[in-house]
Chain A
Amino acid sequence: MSKIPSDLKYTKSHEWVRSLPDGSVDIGITDHAQDALGDLVFVEVPEPGRTLAAGEACAVVESVKAASDVYSPVAGEVIDGNADLVATPELVNQDPYGNGWLLKLKPADKSALAKLMDAAAYTKHLETESH
C-alpha cells in the first residue's frame, strides 16, 4: 500500500501538490507513481520563470522501464526546479513527498487548488485504477 499524506492535494495523473504559507506550492509525483516507474535514472525539471498551463507537461521522469511526462496540476509560474535531482534522481524514489519534490510554482489562481483531489479521493482513485 503506497503512502498518501493527508495534507496534500492530488491529480489523476499521480502528481501531488503541497500548499506553502507564502502562497506558493511544491509539486512532485506520488509514492504510487514512483513505485510504478521503478528506479529513476534521470529527471528533467523546468527552468524558473516558465509559465505553465494546468495540465501542461512540465517535467520528465525517466526510469529503467519508461520515460513519463509530469503534468502541472495547476496553472502558474515556475519559481524553482529541484536541482538536486540532476545528480541524484533516486531522491524521488526514496522520498517522493520530501527531498524528491520536482518544482515550486506560484499558482495563477489559488482557487484552482480546491478542485484537486484530497487524500481520500486519491485513495479511491488508485483503487478504481487497479481494477
Chain B
Amino acid sequence: MPFIPHTDADVRTMLDVIGARRIDDLFDEIPAELKSGPLDGVPPAVNEMDITRIMHERAARDGMLLNFIGAGAYEHHIPAAVWAVTTRGEFYSAYTPYQAEASQGTLQTIYEFQTMMASLTAMEVSNASLYDGASALAEACLMAVRAHRKSKVARILLPASLNPTYRKVARAIAGLQEFTFDEVPYDAATGNIRVESLAAFGAQDITALVIQQPNFFGVLEDVDELTRWARKNGTFIIAVVNPTSLALLKPPGKWGDNGVDIVCGEGQPLGVPLSSGGPYFGFMTTRMAHVRQMPGRIVGRTLDLDGRPGFTLTLQAREQHIRRGKATSNICTNQGLLVTAATIYLTLLGPAGLKRVASASHERTQELVRALTRIPGVRIKFSGPRFHEAVIALDRPAAGVLAALAERGIMGGLDLGALHVELGDAVLVCATETKTAADINTYATALADILKSARAA
C-alpha cells in the first residue's frame, strides 16, 4: 500500500475546490482561546545527522552493563532471524490490517499468534494482543466485571505479591470506574499467598481474584488451591503469567479443577528486546463463553465464496467502530509488529526450545542464588519455590551496594526499598539463559568484595 504525501500543488487544488484559503481555515470552528501556542521546552528541530550522533552518544552513556534485573521485563536471547524476518517490508507496519483482501499474510500471522497463546495458556481463545502486560491486567479487570454477571459489585482482589506497576496501572485505568481493589497479603516467610488469608473474603461478593504466576518476587503461588478457593466463592480468576514460564509450569487453563477465566500478561520475553522499557505487548486469552466481553481485535479463520480458507477480523461487534460507547474497550488495534516478532520467536524455538530457555533460566537463577547466599551478609528472603527470580536480603543499604555494583558494570537487581518498605534492604535478582557461570561468578565476586569493604570501613 503506497503512502505518497501530497505536493503543495495537490493541497492548493483541494483547497480551491472547497473554497478554503489555507489549511488552518479548516479548523476555524475551534475557538481561538482553545488553541495552544508552540509547546514550551521543545527544542528546535535538528537534522538526521545531528540526531543520530546525539542518540549514539546517549546510548553509549548507558554502557553495556551485565544485567541481573528482571521485575517484569526479561533479557532473553533473540535469534537473529526473528527481527530479520519481522522487519521485512511485508510485515513492517504496526497497524492491524482491516482489509482482508489485501492483508492475508499479516492476518494469518496474527491468527497463528493467537493459536500459540491459546495453546501456551491452555485457554480457548486469544485476542490479537494488547499494549503491555500492565494495561492487559487493567483490561482483564474491566472484562471480569462485564463478564461476571452474577457479581453485583466491581470488586477485585489483588495480591500484595503482584507486580506493583501492574497494581498502579489497574488502579489508574479501572479505579475511575468505581472499582474496589482489596489487597491480599503475602506470607512473610514463603513470599506467596496463603489460601487461609483469603478466608476473610469468603462468602462475600468478590468479582475476581488476580493470581500472578510466578509472582513479583519470583515465587510460585499455589495456583491450584487459590483457583479452587475462588471457584468455591463464585469469584472469577484472572491469571497474570510469564509466557516463558508456561513451558515448564501448569498452564492457567488447567489450574484447580477447571482452570481460570481470563489469562493475561506481558509478551516481551518472547523475542522483544528490553529497549529501555518498550514498546512491548500484552496478551490475553479466555474461555469462549466470555469471548464477547474480551477487548481488542480477534482474527478468525473462515472460508471465502469459493470455499478456500482465509483470515479476517471477527467478532467486531465488541469494538468501538460498531458499538461506540458500549464497546468492550477503547482498544481497537494491536501491537502488530511485536506480535509478529513473538510469533516468529515461538516458531523458531518450538515447544522444546521454549522449554530449554525456561529450564536454563530457572537453573541459572538457582546458581545465582547459591552463589550470592554464600556471601556473608547476604541471605535469601523467601522460602517458596521460584522460577527465574529471587529476593535477596542484604545487611547493608541496598541502594549503595547496587550503585557500587553499577560502577563495576553490573546491574545487580531491583532495589525493592521504595516498593516494599517492609522487606528492608532487599534486591530482586534475575538470571536468564543469557547469563553464564562466569557472569554469575563476576557478580558474586563483586558483591562479596563490596560488602567486605563496607564492613571494613
Contact = CB atoms under 8 A, between A and B. Distances in A.
Interface of A: 42, 44, 47, 57, 62, 66-67, 69
A42 B292 contact: yes
Nearest to B150: A47
A44 B326 contact: no
Given A62-B317, A67-B317, A44 B322 contact: no
Interface of B: 149-150, 292, 317, 322-323, 326
Given A47-B149, A47-B150, A66 B317 contact: yes
Given A42-B317, A67-B323, A69-B326, 11 more contacts: A42-B292, A44-B292, A47-B149, A47-B150, A57-B326, A62-B292, A62-B317, A66-B317, A66-B322, A67-B317, A67-B322
A4 to B, nearest CB: 28
- Give the residue among B150, B317, B326 with the most A Cβ atoms within 10 A: B317
Secondary structure at chain A's binding surface: helix, strand, loop or mixed?
Answer: strand
A47 B152 CA distance: 10
A69 B323 CA distance: 10
14 contacts: A42-B292, A42-B317, A44-B292, A47-B149, A47-B150, A57-B326, A62-B292, A62-B317, A66-B317, A66-B322, A67-B317, A67-B322, A67-B323, A69-B326
Contacts of B292: 42, 44, 62
Nearest to B293: A44
- Give the residue among A62, A66, A67, A69 with the most B Cβ atoms within 10 A: A67
Contacts of B317: 42, 62, 66-67
Contacts of B326: 57, 69
A131 B322 CA distance: 26
B205 to A, nearest CB: 13
Contacts of A44: 292
A49 to B, nearest CB: 9
- Give the residue among A44, A47, A62 with the most B Cβ atoms within 10 A: A62
Nearest to B324: A67
A44 B290 CA distance: 12
B369 to A, nearest CB: 50
Nearest to B318: A67
Nearest to B316: A67
A94 B316 CA distance: 24
Question: 7 tightest CB-CB pairs across the interface, nearest first?
Answer: A67-B317, A62-B317, A47-B149, A67-B323, A67-B322, A42-B292, A47-B150
A62 B322 CA distance: 11
Nearest to B323: A67
B275 to A, nearest CB: 38
A62 B149 CA distance: 18
A66 B149 CA distance: 23
Contacts of A67: 317, 322-323
A62 B323 CA distance: 10
A40 B317 CA distance: 12
A69 B322 CA distance: 12
A57 B326 CA distance: 11
B21 to A, nearest CB: 41
A67 B318 CA distance: 9
A42 B150 CA distance: 19
A44 B147 CA distance: 11
A68 to B, nearest CB: 9
Contacts of A62: 292, 317
A103 to B, nearest CB: 13
Contacts of B323: 67
Contacts of B322: 66-67
Nearest to A44: B292
A91 to B, nearest CB: 18
Nearest to B322: A67
A83 to B, nearest CB: 12
A62 B319 CA distance: 12
A82 to B, nearest CB: 15
A100 B292 CA distance: 21
A69 B325 CA distance: 12
Contacts of A42: 292, 317
A62 B326 CA distance: 13
B320 to A, nearest CB: 12
Nearest to A57: B326
A44 B289 CA distance: 12
A44 B323 CA distance: 14
Contacts of A57: 326
B287 to A, nearest CB: 14
A57 B292 CA distance: 17
Nearest to B319: A67
A118 B306 CA distance: 47
